Structure 1
Amino acid sequence: MTRNEDDALPDMDYLRERVQHLEQASQWHHYAMDVLTSMTAIFGDHSQSRDISAILESTHECVGRILPLEDAGYYTVDDESSFHLSYRQAGCEGPALEAEVERLIEAGIFSWALNQNHPVCLPCPGGGQGEDDTACGDHWVLHVISSRTRIRGMFVGRTRGQPLHPRDPGMKVLSIILFNAAYALESAALYTLMEHQHRTLKKISERQSLELAHQYSHDALTGLPNRILFSDRLHQLIQQGHPNDEDDGSHVAVILMDLDHFKRVNDSLGHGCGDRLIKTLADNLRALLADADLLSHHHLDESNVTLSRLGGDEFGIILNRVDSLDLLARFAQHLIDNVSCEYVVHGHPVFLTCSAGISIHPFDGRDVDTLIKNADAAMYEAKQRGRNHYHFYTQDINAQTYRHLMLENELSKALERDEFQLHYQPQISLATGKVEGLEALVRWEHPEKGYLSPGHFIPVAEDTGLIERLGLWVVRRACEDMKRLEAADLPVPRMAINLSPRQFRQTDLACQYAAIIKEIGIQASQIELELTESTIMQDIDKAVEIFEALHRLGFRLAVDDFGTGYSSLNQLKHFPIHTLKIDRSFVRGIPQDRDDAAIVTAIVAMAKGLGLEVVAEGVEARHQLEFLKALECESVQGYYFSRPLPYDELCEYLQDSCSTNQQKQSASS
């Protein structure tokens, strides 16, 4: 071998070592790439990717393939910035790792490592390392687990052998793995937050659904089932029945209860008091229908009773398995007796009564609407018969209700079609024989039934509220006719116009009437407003207030049908009235009936003592007229002089009256 060949041998060894090193490096890099590829397990598309333990276990599988670890732990940070050991390398349950971390925290090294952007390798205390940097021994590797925005935790691993440098390939791969782990933990936190929000929203949604369902089916004021739930339960009970229910010993009963004159409470005390009263009544009824002894006495059971508020002051009760109509009637009367009493609302005593209607399945209807409609018709019949009572549904009630409904519909259109007219009955002065006033009486010229008297349609107008519009129409037409009489040189001193109870409760009554007479050009003193004595006595304080308001505007005021309302002199003296009208029921019997004669005599004497004028209604005979003249009654009206006349006939009557009076004056002179 030559010298040159000997010199080349070291170069070949170097090359072989170099090639071997490169092959090992290439294999390691392929291995590292394989490890990095397997990191998808950290973000696996399954439910485990939302579990912190599963994420850290997958992370450790990757880390353990690139670093020879004797021990390893993964700490996560909570919202209070406290670190907790969340995953530990399998088979390493000893306290050495946690003790070392505590030592690093106390020394501040743990905090320092968190702020490094690279792995930190520290010698283990007592790990067998010498003074030489290359000496073998145990080392702790610390690496922050963080995304670009937030620290998620810390990796702590113990290795044996040469210390690792941050630029070592294994350490670089460690950084990549832990960086991805941080994002996996962030994703898991986001998933957890989203699931928590989803559960919270679901609970809120379920609670709101229950609340909406309750609001849909229950009354907001009383908490009782409303009309919707009432109808649904009644429907279910009907469906549970048998085809031959007539032969069954038990039935379903529907009771509708309505407070009598409840509107007066709202009008006088306000809707707040009205609501409080309804709630008190609901609580009382609920307690009453939960009384086991009471129900047992009437062969009923609490599970077969449904109490509902159907709206306003109307309550509905469903009774299932009713086996005795006699006991049902007693039960209904017991309910009415318990409701009809004095209540104190915000310091105000209020006495209430109620009326009830009862229908029975299947006799009075086989469906919900029919049973409710017929119970309602029976309740209306109870009100028509004096209120504060119950009534069972009967077949003839439907016919009456239908006629009433048809009358309501026709009445609502009558004003628009100008079907109403005013007839006027003269009021005659007994001293002069002249016409000193007229009473305006409304008539309905029905297109099919002809003229209808007020008694036929005024109660319906009162119930429906049409009386308020009709009342304004009467005042306007009467004032217009007075102007026409004045233009025809047939003036009359005053016009008497009746007020219904509902009109009297209008808060703006005085202002509306004052506006009408001002527009037409009539003096308020030419109008005498009449109100029945019984209406005044319902609420004396309110009546005095309204009378005084009308009196201040200049209207004359009269008490109609006097003697029928049981008022006393002490009450009467508070009213600023001008006239008392004696009811025709007392005039009819004079002078033969001693009681009627005594009543009329007392009324005339009392009126004179109070400085009031007196008008006697219903004078139809000469002997009645002579008796009233003897008492020095000022005025009379009735068929003895004239029936109520339409405008054209009134003009003729007034002309004849003027001529007659002129002839008398000429004869006397």
Structure 2
Amino acid sequence: MMTRNKSTRPTDIDYLQQRVTYLEAEHQRYHHAMDVLASMASIFGDHHHHRDMSAILRSTHDCIHRILPLDDAGYYLVDDESSFNLAYRQPGCGNPDLEMAVERLIEEGTFAWAINQNHPVCVNAGPDYPAGAHLVLHVISTRTRIRGMFVGCMFGNPQLADRTGLKVLSIILFNSAYALESAALYTLREHQHNTLRKITQRQSRELLHQHSHDTLTGLPNRVLFNDRLNQLLQRRTAPNIHLAVILMDLDHFKRVNDSLGHRAGDLLIRRLATDMRNTFLCAEEVKRYHLDAANITISRLGGDEFGILLEHVDSLDLVARFVQQLIESVSREHEVMDHQVFVTCSAGISIHPFDGDDADTLIKNADAAMYEAKQRGRNLYQFYTQDLNSRTYRHLVMENQLVKALAKDEFDLHYQPQISLRNGQVEALEALVRWHHPEKGLQNPAHFIPLAEDTGIIEGLGQWVLRRVCQDILRLRQAGIELPRMAINLSARQFRQVDLVERYTHILSEYGISPSHIELELTESTIMQDIKVAVDIFEQLHQLGFRLAVDDFGTGYSSLNNLKHFPIHSLKIDRSFVSDTPHDRDDTAIVTAIVAMAKSLGLEVVAEGVENEDQLNFLKKLDCELIQGYYYSKPLPFDEVCQYLMAPDR
């Protein structure tokens, strides 16, 4: 009994010692695995910095290498085209054997098979490695997306590898996949953020540019023009160096828009802006004015108005030469939409410090000078002088008074008869507008019509005149007086109204007046400005039934070739030719030729300004149909013209 116990005790002790050793080893491996797992936080890196996939894979490999005895390892990531690309290699391993082996596994489909296993798989390393080498494959994936493949090379039987280590491998790669996913999302977010920032910056620049530049021409606009002028005034120190403010706009630009359309007007403005930029911002070109292109600012202030700043100007003569070249470069024929358009411009100049110390004053004074240039005939420039402010102020006051006068019905019509030399009857009345100024009394049209024309008030005033004429026709009919027609003057600006025909037709239909009772008079110079457009408008008015007359004939230099295209009914000989007949030989010859020409064209002739019997007898001999003038009657208010028409001895 004692012998048997002695023989078995050493075996039990050995077993217990082996068991203890095994458990201690397992315990160590367990703690080692726990330690490795605890260190996996390094895989995710610092969330406050840019995520680097190489850093993630390096941290991943550091964890894996602590649990598996790898001789070589590679980490392959999947790109957008589902191709596996080597992203990280175990340090110190640079031979191509691993990459060649992976290529072979991909071609064989082993990679695809390993992906679906979702756990470590072991395959023979193949001919590229020595005998006994094996590869451990493990997919790198989250629960929703495959990020890549881990490939580890081990010499000897990988089955002898620690099972705990292989389990930890799965956990590490699973966490690594999420870290890569997070990095990819972070990178995408950063890319989107950078893209959004670039878009925002670009849009901010575009908005700033739109705020400070004209969209049609790309030139600085009024906002930037004023800002630069203020900056230049703040920087100025040298008293003998001047700053010139130039305002320029096109003469009668509205004609282009009215006749060819706003698209043509825009094309013309853009072309002029390009020409000015190429000419006056060219370094070689501006040397002649002792200027630098950087000292010149060209802006489009709106519509057809441009503003130019010249800094470091040492001579007013150079400013004058600069502006003269500006006018000459603009004032020429331009081709717009297959049409030849002749354009002129006017400019006003103010100089700092002589004409103002602040931007508003300099701009206001340059504007006054430009207005003066237009008053003097256009297509020229004018320097500001102190006297211009008072004249501009008077015009501004009168403009405001005209607007109020139209609203308060301060206008009135006087009528001057047109008498037939054949029977002595009144054939027509010409309506002439008068203004009952609240302080100055009755105003002659010569005092306010030009300003109404320049400011556009004439358009509303013209419609008022037609309405009053229609009302007076109805009043005459109620009094038992029926006249063949009433004559109304159309100014150049009214004639260019796009909706002239529609507006006038609407007013006549409103009062039930036939267009045949209205004769529209246009000066010869007005219709000769753009013959093609004038003929078109005349045709429209003629088809509606209006009578048409050419006023002040003989002053507009029209030719018979032009005149024959117009569907007109009568010519009115300007009073300047009639006043000295029959004693002045030249005027007598002109009036005789006009009457003969009109008769050859089948047109009625009206002679204006007839004041004495010699003129009357001369016109009778020429067989002139109608006369108008003080010889028979001055322009009369409505009540007086009624008395004139009803007088039995008239």
- After TM superposition, the score normalised by the length of structure 2 is 0.92
1:90 alignment counterpart: 91
Go from structure 1 to structure 2 and tell me whether the alpha carbon gap of 1:140 and 1:501 turns closer, same or farther (over 3 Å shift). Answer: same
Instruction: Report matched runs for 1:66-85 at 5 Å.
Output: 66-85=67-86
Instruction: Report matched runs for 1:10-49 at 5 Å.
Output: 14-15=15-16, 17-46=18-47
Is 1:497 paired with 2:482? no
CA RMSD of the aligned region, Å?
Answer: 2.7
1:634 to 621, 625, 631: 625
What is the alpha-carbon distance in structure 1 between the residues aligned to residue 119 and residue 161 of structure 2? Answer: 6
2:649 alignment counterpart: 660
Instruction: Report matched runs for 1:480-629 at 5 Å.
Output: 480-629=471-620
Q: Is the 8 A contact 1:339 1:354 kept in 2?
A: yes
Q: Is the 8 A contact 2:549 2:571 kept in 1?
A: yes
- Look up the SS of the partner of 1:416 in the other structure: helix
Instruction: Report matched runs for 1:257-272 at 5 Å.
Output: 257-272=248-263
What is the alpha-carbon distance in structure 2 between the residues aligned to residue 128 and residue 350 of structure 1? Answer: 91
Q: Deviations over 1:326-374 (max 9, x none)?
A: 2221222122122222222232222221111111111112222222222
2:182 to 170, 187, 196: 187
- Look up the SS of the partner of 1:564 in the other structure: coil
Shift of 1:119: 0.5
Deviates more, 1:156-165 or 1:484-493: 156-165
- Look up the SS of the partner of 1:68 in the other structure: coil
- Look up the SS of the partner of 1:205 in the other structure: helix
What is the alpha-carbon distance in structure 2 between the residues aligned to residue 225 and residue 573 of structure 1? Answer: 48
1:365 alignment counterpart: 356
Shift of 1:565: 1.2
What is the alpha-carbon distance in structure 2 between the residues aligned to residue 614 and residue 380 of structure 1? Answer: 38
Instruction: Report matched runs for 1:94-133 at 5 Å.
Output: 94-122=95-123
What is the alpha-carbon distance in structure 2 between the residues aligned to residue 63 and residue 524 of structure 1? Answer: 102
Shift of 1:537: 1.3
Instruction: Report matched runs for 1:421-500 at 5 Å.
Output: 421-500=412-491
Q: Deviations over 1:86-135 (max 9, x none)?
A: 32333334444334434544554344323322111345569998xxxxxx
What is the alpha-carbon distance in structure 1 between the residues aligned to residue 2 and residue 227 of structure 2? Answer: 117
What is the alpha-carbon distance in structure 2 between the residues aligned to residue 185 and residue 293 of structure 1? Answer: 61
1:665 alignment counterpart: none
Q: Is the 8 A contact 1:76 1:153 kept in 2?
A: yes
Deviates more, 1:345-354 or 1:157-166: 157-166
- Look up the SS of the partner of 2:389 in the other structure: helix
2:144 alignment counterpart: 149
- Look up the SS of the partner of 1:653 in the other structure: helix
Go from structure 1 to structure 2 and tell me whether the alpha carbon gap of 1:634 and 1:145 turns closer, same or farther (over 3 Å shift). Answer: same
2:235 alignment counterpart: 240
2:206 alignment counterpart: 211
1:57 alignment counterpart: 58
Task: Could you tell me which runs of 5 or more consecutive residues in structure 1 were left unpaired when the two chains were aligned.
Answer: 130-136, 662-669
2:216 to 196, 221, 232: 221
What is the alpha-carbon distance in structure 2 between the residues aligned to residue 456 and residue 619 of structure 1? Answer: 23
Q: Is the 8 A contact 2:101 2:126 kept in 1?
A: no
Is 1:201 paired with 2:196? yes
What is the alpha-carbon distance in structure 2 between the residues aligned to residue 325 and residue 331 of structure 1? Answer: 10
What is the alpha-carbon distance in structure 1 between the residues aligned to residue 104 and residue 566 of structure 2? Answer: 100
Q: Is the 8 A contact 2:45 2:51 kept in 1?
A: no
Equivalent residues, number = 648
Go from structure 1 to structure 2 and tell me whether the alpha carbon gap of 1:363 and 1:107 turns closer, same or farther (over 3 Å shift). Answer: same
- Look up the SS of the partner of 2:149 in the other structure: strand
Q: Is the 8 A contact 1:619 1:639 kept in 2?
A: yes
What is the alpha-carbon distance in structure 2 between the residues aligned to residue 148 and residue 203 of structure 1? Answer: 35
Is 1:169 paired with 2:164? yes
Instruction: Report matched runs for 1:398-437 at 5 Å.
Output: 398-437=389-428
Go from structure 1 to structure 2 and tell me whether the alpha carbon gap of 1:164 and 1:300 turns closer, same or farther (over 3 Å shift). Answer: same
Q: Is the 8 A contact 1:121 1:165 kept in 2?
A: no
Shift of 1:586: 1.9
Go from structure 1 to structure 2 and tell me whether the alpha carbon gap of 1:83 and 1:47 turns closer, same or farther (over 3 Å shift). Answer: farther
Q: Is the 8 A contact 1:77 1:83 kept in 2?
A: yes
Q: Is the 8 A contact 1:166 1:172 kept in 2?
A: no
2:386 to 369, 389, 395: 395
Shift of 1:187: 1.4
What is the alpha-carbon distance in structure 1 between the residues aligned to residue 547 and residue 90 of structure 2? Answer: 106
What is the alpha-carbon distance in structure 1 between the residues aligned to residue 213 and residue 50 of structure 2? Answer: 46
Go from structure 1 to structure 2 and tell me whether the alpha carbon gap of 1:292 and 1:119 turns closer, same or farther (over 3 Å shift). Answer: closer
Percent pairwise identity: 68
- Look up the SS of the partner of 1:427 in the other structure: strand
Q: Which amino acid aligns with 1:660?
A: D
Q: Is the 8 A contact 1:49 1:55 kept in 2?
A: no
Q: Is the 8 A contact 1:48 1:55 kept in 2?
A: no
Q: Deviations over 1:35-67 (max 9, x none)?
A: 211111111224677112211121122212222
- Look up the SS of the partner of 2:408 in the other structure: coil
Shift of 1:441: 0.9
Q: Is the 8 A contact 2:258 2:497 kept in 1?
A: no
Shift of 1:520: 2.1
What is the alpha-carbon distance in structure 2 between the residues aligned to residue 52 and residue 524 of structure 1? Answer: 87
What is the alpha-carbon distance in structure 1 between the residues aligned to residue 428 and residue 155 of structure 2? Answer: 127
Q: Deviations over 1:278-307 (max 9, x none)?
A: 222222222221454542322222221222
- Look up the SS of the partner of 2:40 in the other structure: helix
Task: Could you tell me which runs of 5 or more consecutive residues in structure 2 were left unpaired when the two chains were aligned.
Answer: none
Deviates more, 1:298-307 or 1:504-513: 504-513
Shift of 1:252: 0.8
- Look up the SS of the partner of 1:531 in the other structure: strand
1:305 alignment counterpart: 296
2:316 alignment counterpart: 325
Deviates more, 1:11-20 or 1:111-120: 11-20
Q: Is the 8 A contact 1:165 1:171 kept in 2?
A: no
What is the alpha-carbon distance in structure 2 between the residues aligned to residue 90 and residue 56 of structure 1? Answer: 12
- Look up the SS of the partner of 1:275 in the other structure: helix
What is the alpha-carbon distance in structure 1 between the residues aligned to residue 528 and residue 42 of structure 2? Answer: 91
